[in-house]
């Protein structure tokens, strides 16, 4: 496991954490961070994807504010800093940086050129935006925040997209979920999974709302989705 330098489209560069499969090569997956940065949770997700045969890259999307952020969800001070970074995050630039990350991974000789994305929380919405704005081969979003505000882009979805939606998500209430379902449920390229009784971040290992059964189910669905769309 190592770091790689990614060149930003508008100048400058930022880092990304890379996890390699035992074979040393495979399809690529860009792992899109939560509001806590490229922390131990995100690196563990990348490592897990590597064990499934993928070259996983988790780019530092907060680099424009403060490079190298690695927060946890264990203290009030870290939560406060995470929300500061979230509020200061430039979504347009973030998508541009994801395009750069996808291009960097696709150009890596260890990658088969097929690229998927998977994001959580903030990254869940960004994963949706990679489906509407980038050339990623597929995308997966876990409990994305704010997707309902970008449904006007749904017509741009040209590749498979899977969204995991927590029924009791405090950051994506029932009204927002209804809008997402109404806009996307009829799209043959989109798969929506709803998790009854689950709150935001139910798949964050060690988090307050972690639910192993729901997380295992969502992760198994993601694994099958990536196998179908990337491994062939």
Confidence of residue 231 (pLDDT cuts 50, 70, 90): confident
Q: Please, which residues have CB within 8 angstroms of residue 53's CB and are 6 or more apart in sequence?
A: 21, 23, 26, 27, 231
- Residue 134, classified by CB atoms within 10 Å of its CB into exposed (0-12), middle (13-18) or buried (19+), is buried
CB 172 within 8 A of CB 166: yes
The per-residue pLDDT for range 145-160, each reduced to its tens digit, is: 999 999 999 999 999 9
Instruction: Compute the distance between CA of residue 46 and CA of residue 217 in angstroms, rounded to an integer.
Output: 18
Q: Please, which residues have CB within 8 angstroms of residue 91's CB and are 6 or more apart in sequence?
A: 126, 129
What angle, rounded to 10 degrees, do the helices at 122-133 and 91-107 form? 70
Which sequence positions are flagged as catalytic? 169, 200
Query: Which residues face 162 on adjacent strands?
Result: 140, 191
Q: What is the mean pLDDT of the chain?
A: 97
Q: What is the pTM of this model?
A: 0.97
- Nearest by Cα to 122 from 6, 17, 211, 201: 201
171 DSSP assignment:
T
Hey, what domains does the chain have and what are their CATH numbers? 2-230 (3.40.50.1820)
Using the predicted structure, report yes or no on whether residue 138 has a pLDDT greater than 90: yes
Confidence of residue 232 (pLDDT cuts 50, 70, 90): low
Query: What does the pLDDT average to over 85-91?
Result: 98
Residue with tokens 């500061």: 84
Query: What does the pLDDT average to over 203-218?
Result: 97
Which tokens hold the place of 61? 């999307």
The per-residue pLDDT for range 6-33, each reduced to its tens digit, is: 999 999 999 999 999 999 999 999 999 9
197 phi-psi bin (left φ>0, alpha ψ -120 to 50, beta other): left
């Amino acid at each position: 496991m190592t770091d790689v330098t990614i060149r930003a489209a508008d100048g400058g560069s930022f880092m990304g954490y890379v996890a390699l499969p035992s074979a040393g090569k495979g399809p690529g997956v860009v792992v899109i961070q939560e509001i806590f940065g490229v922390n131990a949770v995100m690196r563990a997700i990348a490592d897990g994807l590597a064990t499934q045969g993928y070259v996983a890259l988790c780019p530092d999307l907060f680099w424009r504010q403060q490079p190298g952020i690695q927060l946890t969800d264990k203290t009030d001070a870290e939560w406060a800093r995470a929300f500061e970074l979230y509020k200061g995050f430039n979504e347009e630039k973030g998508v541009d940086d994801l395009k750069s990350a996808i291009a960097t991974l696709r150009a890596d000789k260890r990658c088969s050129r097929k690229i998927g994305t998977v994001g959580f929380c903030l990254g869940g919405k960004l994963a949706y935006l990679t489906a509407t704005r980038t050339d990623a081969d597929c995308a997966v979003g876990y409990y994305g925040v704010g997707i309902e505000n970008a449904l006007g882009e749904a017509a741009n979805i040209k590749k498979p997209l899977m969204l995991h939606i927590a029924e009791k998500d405090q950051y994506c209430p029932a009204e927002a979920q209804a809008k997402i379902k109404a806009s996307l449920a009829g799209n043959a390229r989109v798969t929506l999974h709803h998790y009854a009784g689950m709150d935001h971040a139910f798949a964050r290992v060690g988090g307050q709302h972690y639910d192993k059964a729901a997380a295992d189910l969502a992760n198994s669905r993601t694994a099958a989705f990536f196998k179908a769309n990337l491994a062939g």
